[in-house]
Amino acid sequence: AQSVDQPDAHVTLSEGASLELRCSYSYSAAPYLFWYVQYPGQSLQFLLKYITGDTVVKGTKGFEAEFRKSNSSFNLKKSPAHWSDSAKYFCALEGRGQGGSAKLIFGEGTKLTVSS
């Protein structure tokens, strides 16, 4: 099976706090994991990805994510959070489609609201 779970549909915090958005995955092989962000009224943009190597990966806009094989997680972090970080965040796993070609499998997303 190949799936992604984002258990928190909504996260609210105050500007200046630390944010951590949770993501867990299920995949039988070594995973390639991604985070994308969707700002209000816009389409999805790539934030960062984990392929191999260092378990903490840094991306754009000051975000980083930590890959933990032990509990199949890939949580997104940023400190401090800014009101402009308010958006919907999607975690994704690169799975396999028909014929073995790669395809991205997305979680349901977490809507982050940062109040100023």
Partner 1 sequence: GGIITQTPKFLIGQEGQKLTLKCQQNFNHDTMYWYRQDSGKGLRLIYYSITENDLQKGDLSEGYDASREKKSSFSLTVTSAQKNEMAVFLCASSLDWGDQNTLYFGAGTRLSVL
User: What part of residues 4-23 is at the interface with partner 1 (CB under 8 A)?
Assistant: 4, 6, 9
Residue count, binding to partner 1 (CB under 8 A): 27
CA dist., res. 79 & res. 85, Å (int): 11
- Please report which helix (H) or strand (E) contains residue 90, including its range: strand 87-96
Place of tokens 């706090």: 17
83 binds partner 1 (CB under 8 A): no
Question: Which of 35/85 has CB closer to partner 1?
Answer: 35
Residue numbers 25-64 binding partner 1 by CB under 8 A: 32, 34, 36, 42-46, 49, 51
Q: What distance lies between CA 30 and its chain's CA centroid?
A: 17
Closest to partner 1 by CB, 17 vs 56, is 56
Q: In Å, how far are 12, 16, 90, 94, 115 from 83, measured between CA atoms?
A: 11, 9, 18, 30, 6
Instruction: State the residues that interact with partner 1 by CB under 8 A.
Output: 4, 6, 9, 32, 34, 36, 42-46, 49, 51, 90, 94, 97-99, 101-109
